[in-house]
Amino acid sequence: MEELNNCLARLLNVIKVLQNNAEKIECRDNTCTRPYLGLNIETICFNTRPITLYRCDNGLITLNYTSPTGEELTTSVFRVESVSDDSVGVLLLEETVDSEGNITYINTNTYATINLGCVCAIRCLPDTIVNNV
């Protein structure tokens, strides 16, 4: 299990580095090794690679948070904020879908630490912009 934790930690660290560098690099390079998030040079630089995390029983990890209106909500979409060998610090993101089916994510200002020993798989969602991160 320690090897899996190290593998997951390395992957999460790559995502964290990409996010940290997203605002520092101009969006010109459109190769596989481009050092920024996003699809192509026609897009703006993104600042977040949202992820979902799965337990070893294939269950999606979900966490509760309180919206600014006081409503109790649940999310399974996270932004990597910090990584250690055995845990990941995440920002919980609220997923919204508009009438045209476009998905956006909102900063919930809620953070959590997840034990990597409880994580078996990571799914990366399309890169996006999250305001106020």
> Is 120 in contact with 54 (CB distance < 8 Å)?
yes
Question: Mean pLDDT, 10 residues at a time, over the chain (133 residues)?
Answer: 74 92 59 57 74 96 93 97 94 94 94 95 92 82
Q: How far is CA 130 from each of CA 20, 47, 92, rounded to the nearest angstrom? A: 13, 7, 11
| pTM of the predicted protein model | 0.81
pLDDT of amino acid 80: 97
Structure tokens at 53: 């995390």
Element holding 91 (H helix, E strand): strand 87-97
Report the half-sphere exposure of 43 (CA within 13 A, side-chain side).
Answer: 14
Sequence-distant (6+) residues with CB within 8 A of 22 are 36, 37, 45, 46, 47, 48
pLDDT of amino acid 66: 94
pLDDT of amino acid 132: 83
